[in-house]
């Protein structure tokens, strides 16, 4: 991609993320609010202010904001129905959820995330070993965390997957294609396991997630169909896959042929891939549980089963590299999904869609803060790494990619990409 085109793409991504953040910010409840609803169901009084201490329980300490902008004296407000038929609701603003965070549960969720990252890196290590790349277990762990650092903390178009691949190529000169293949297959297996988890759980809640179930199962069945076609020689010949790839434009032919070769290579390792897919599903159960624990730390009020449907969808979409760590995209999805499907669980609030949407955004922000903090471990490993990936290495890889897209010979395996 030409520098001018790359800058344009980055600007479009930045504009899209900014638009999403502005949209989410305009639909989030920022201030603590006290609402009194009359016996006829209409809002008799509404006051903004500040909750002091916990917002949970039957009694909440609330200081109303006066006309001059100052806060009145704190008052113990009893929430819920009153003898005269009115009802009192105290709804926290965005920052109040974060201020009342259960730190112990936050740390527990961080430990769960560390565990899931270790398992995911082990799966990648297995893929590297299958490709006969001499990479040790701890090296795979180290490169995974370095990739996480670049994915979540370094702005720009250089993603963590490319960084991981280049580190492996520097470590194993001449193994360019297997290194790239391992990263691609690892990402596909991870997202595939996540989709299968959501597809199974949603079957038990079709009454509430009917539309989501159709979308999830369409993706799973489509991927399975492509896998069958890719692994079957007869179907590949019958569908004319090789014929089609050979006649595509050079800019599409090269990357698609690499993916095709990658998938077909693993045809001889289907048992191992099936096992790691099952392990991946179990690992994603833990990863969703991490978010569930954070939800409990914020007291979001969403049932556990809902997390196992909504979080996989959000994580699959945020895997698209638009912004570091999915910022903006994740908050938009959490607000929409939690507000749309989680509002039914709130009965003691005036505007359940907005309240649950706000809780979803708070959860998304907290989750991304946790992942960002953990990603600093990868940054520490970058500082300690003796043979770091440089801008020159990335430029060399980009040059090889461009040469392959033009159909040149510069990107063949016979020429190591980096020295």
User: Does residue 70 fall inside a structural domain?
Assistant: yes
pLDDT of residue 303: 93
Rounded to an integer, what distance in angstroms lies between the CA atom of residue 50 and that of residue 77? 12
Confidence of residue 361 (pLDDT cuts 50, 70, 90): very high
Q: Which of 92, 118, 138 is the last residue of a domain?
A: 92
Tell me: do 241 and 332 sit in the same domain. yes
- What share of the chain has pLDDT > 70, as a percent? 79
Q: Would you say residue 111 has pLDDT above 90?
A: yes
SS (H, E, C) 326-356: HCCHHHHHHHHHHHHHHHHHCCCCCCHHHHH
User: Does residue 198 fall inside a structural domain?
Assistant: yes
Task: Using DSSP, state whether 71 is helix, strand or coil.
Answer: strand
Tell me: do 119 and 260 sit in the same domain. yes
Tell me: do 211 and 139 sit in the same domain. yes
Tell me: do 335 and 234 sit in the same domain. yes
Tell me: do 157 and 85 sit in the same domain. no
pLDDT of residue 153: 76
- Please provide the average confidence, as pLDDT, over all residues in the chain: 81
Domain span at residue 333 reads: 103-403
pLDDT of residue 121: 93
Tell me: do 46 and 167 sit in the same domain. no
Q: List the single range of 53-57, 282-286, 381-385, 402-406 with lowest mean pLDDT.
A: 402-406
- Domains: count for the chain: 2
Rounded to an integer, what distance in angstroms lies between the CA atom of residue 221 and that of residue 216? 9
Tell me: do 240 and 374 sit in the same domain. yes
pLDDT tens for 62-101 read: 998 888 888 888 888 888 888 888 888 888 999 999 999 9
Q: Would you say residue 389 has pLDDT above 70?
A: no
Whole-prediction pTM: 0.81
Average pLDDT over residues 164-192: 77
Rounded to an integer, what distance in angstroms lies between the CA atom of residue 109 and that of residue 246? 48
User: Does residue 379 fall inside a structural domain?
Assistant: yes
Strand 59-64 versus strand 75-78 pairing type: antiparallel
Tell me: do 50 and 153 sit in the same domain. no
Q: Would you say residue 410 has pLDDT above 50?
A: no
Tell me: do 109 and 138 sit in the same domain. yes
The H or E element spanning position 60 is strand 59-64
pLDDT tens for 117-143 read: 999 999 999 988 888 887 889 989 998
Tell me: do 296 and 354 sit in the same domain. yes
| Helix 270-298 / helix 103-130 crossing angle, nearest 10 deg | 170
User: Does residue 118 fall inside a structural domain?
Assistant: yes
User: Does residue 26 fall inside a structural domain?
Assistant: no
Tell me: do 206 and 237 sit in the same domain. yes
Tell me: do 240 and 168 sit in the same domain. yes
Q: Would you say residue 229 has pLDDT above 90?
A: no
Q: Which of 40, 65, 92 is the last residue of a domain?
A: 92
- Kindly report the number of other CB atoms within 10 A of residue 214's CB atom: 12
User: Does residue 418 fall inside a structural domain?
Assistant: no
User: Does residue 413 fall inside a structural domain?
Assistant: no
User: Does residue 416 fall inside a structural domain?
Assistant: no
Rounded to an integer, what distance in angstroms lies between the CA atom of residue 364 and that of residue 351? 20
Q: Which of 92, 115, 144 is the last residue of a domain?
A: 92
């Amino acid at each position: 991609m030409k520098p001018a085109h790359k800058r344009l793409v980055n600007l479009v991504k930045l504009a899209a993320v900014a638009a999403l953040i502005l949209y989410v910010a305009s639909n989030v409840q920022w201030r603590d609010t006290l609402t009194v609803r009359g016996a006829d169901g209409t809002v008799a009084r509404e006051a903004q202010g500040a909750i002091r201490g916990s917002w949970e329980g039957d009694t909440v300490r609330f200081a109303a904001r006066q006309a001059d902008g100052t806060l009145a004296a704190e008052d113990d407000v009893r929430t819920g129905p009153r003898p005269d038929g009115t009802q009192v609701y105290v709804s926290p603003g965005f920052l109040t959820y974060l201020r009342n965070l259960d730190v112990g549960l936050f740390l527990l969720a961080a430990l769960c995330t560390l565990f899931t990252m270790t398992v995911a890196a082990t799966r990648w290590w297995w893929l590297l070993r299958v490709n006969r790349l001499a990479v040790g277990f701890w090296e795979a762990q180290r490169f995974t965390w370095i990739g996480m650092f670049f994915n979540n903390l370094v702005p720009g178009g250089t993603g963590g997957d490319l960084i991981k691949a280049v580190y492996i190529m520097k470590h194993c000169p001449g193994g360019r294609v297997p290194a790239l293949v391992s990263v691609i297959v690892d990402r596909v297996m991870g997202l595939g396991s996540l989709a299968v988890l959501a597809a199974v759980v949603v079957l038990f809640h079709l009454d509430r997630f009917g539309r989501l179930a159709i979308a999830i199962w369409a993706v799973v069945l489509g991927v399975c169909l492509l896998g069958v076609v890719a692994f079957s020689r007869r179907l590949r010949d019958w569908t004319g896959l090789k014929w089609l790839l050979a006649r595509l434009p050079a800019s599409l032919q090269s990357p698609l042929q690499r993916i095709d070769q990658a998938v077909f290579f693993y045809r001889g390792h289907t048992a191992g891939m099936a096992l790691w897919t099952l392990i991946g599903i179990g690992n994603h159960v833990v990863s969703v549980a991490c978010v569930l624990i954070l939800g409990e730390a914020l007291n979001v009020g969403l049932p556990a089963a809902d997390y196992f449907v909504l979080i996989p969808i959000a994580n699959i979409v945020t895997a698209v590299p638009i912004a570091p760590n999915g910022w903006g995209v994740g908050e938009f999805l959490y607000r929409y999904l939690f507000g749309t499907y989680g509002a039914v669980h709130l009965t003691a609030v005036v505007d359940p869609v907005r309240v649950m949407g706000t809780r979803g955004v708070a959860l998304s922000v907290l989750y991304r803060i946790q992942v960002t903090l953990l990603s600093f471990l990868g940054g520490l490993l970058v500082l300690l790494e003796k043979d770091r990936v440089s801008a020159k290495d990335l430029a060399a890889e980009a040059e090889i990619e461009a040469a392959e897209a033009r159909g040149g010979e510069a990107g063949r395996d016979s020429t190591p990409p980096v020295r």
